[in-house]
Amino acid sequence: MLSSRMALRRLQRIAVAPLSFTSGATTKVLRDMSTLPRVYVTRQIPPEGLKILQDSGQVQFELWDSDDVPVPRKELLQKVKGVDGLLCVLTEKIDAELLDAAGSNLKVVSTMSVGFDHLSLEELKKSRGIRVGYTPEVLTDAVAELTVALLLATSRRLIEATHEAKTGGWGTWRTLWLCGYELANSTVGILGLGRIGVAIAERLAPFKVKKFIYTDVAPRPELAKAINAEYVTLDELAKQSDFLSICCALTPETKEICNKNLFSKMKNTSIFINTSSHIRGGVVNQEDLYEALSTGQIAGAGLDVTVPEPLPTTHPLFTLKNCVILPHIASASYSTRNAMSALAANNLLLGLRSQPMIKELKL
């Protein structure tokens, strides 16, 4: 498993080396930058990825030099014309319009993301000969850590408490004021058991969790063994979980699977957490979640992913004290984001050399 700092060090070591030639003529041509493959980078990605591209000597690249504002669509369509490679992030829609604008030279799309719902897979599957790289696994540690942080902030009502302290609500000591729910002796449920789900459970185990349960499309005994988790039905997952962490992929079957039916089966003391960087918020019916939270059907929710993103500040979920919403920052650690950019850069260079990528999306 590629993960965090170890992943970054490994990716730095295996960064694609500059091509070497014995032919003086070939070397002379290679040094002429105009002959190198053209690449467009749609964002000011973290420095490790840019360094790999610069030091490789294999490409000439141009980038949208901002990390705050995505490249305007009109400019993106102009910049991709004739490029051999594209390194993008999840804010860019890679669809038929863009692929047609790029033209027949485009051979590699490398996305700095684990999710790929911004890529039109049907268009990429067509006879364009385009390969796709992506960046799974390296963000497992960061997402797991953020999940624990969000779970604790939600269950122990830390955002509420901070607000009360700042705004004068902190008065005399009260017996039940701002009381929350403990992990000790609790049952933690995981919807969709994969690398991230296992990593979350491993971090929660020292809090003296009594039992881990999970559901998936089928039992996953090898992964479950690592955390001593029990496979249960979705109904039982909802009924038994004191804390429910959502880690499943977004598919037609899981779209809005977290809905009124699921929330109605949960305990009124349960905490619902969704931090999966792969799925965004699509597995949750947010109107049903609002109803469950506002009526006390469940105790609280912590969300790092929503629909849409960003979630409008006027959305009803923002009015609830028992709902903590973060701006999709699960993978936001320096080591993880640098590892993602390094992996994306290596995928791009390897793809342009017609070699196996480190992580390639099989179309």
Of 347, 359, 314, the C-alpha closest to 114 is 359
328 is catalytic: yes
Contact assessment for residue 106 and residue 83, using Cβ atoms and an 8 Å cutoff:
yes
The answer to whether the CB of 131 falls within 8 A of the CB of 84 is no
CA distance 50 to 151: 34
* Active-site choice (163, 278, 315, 328): 328
Cα-Cα-Cα-Cα torsion 15, 21, 25, 30, nearest 10 degrees, comes to -10
Which two tokens mark 83?
A: 């490029």
What tokens appear for 300 in the block?
């609280």
Cβ 278 vs Cβ 251: under 8 Å? no
The two structure tokens encoding residue 205: 């185990």
What b-and-e string marks burial along 242-259, b requiring 16 or more CB atoms within 10 Å of the CB? bbbbbbbebeeebebbbb
Active site residues: 328
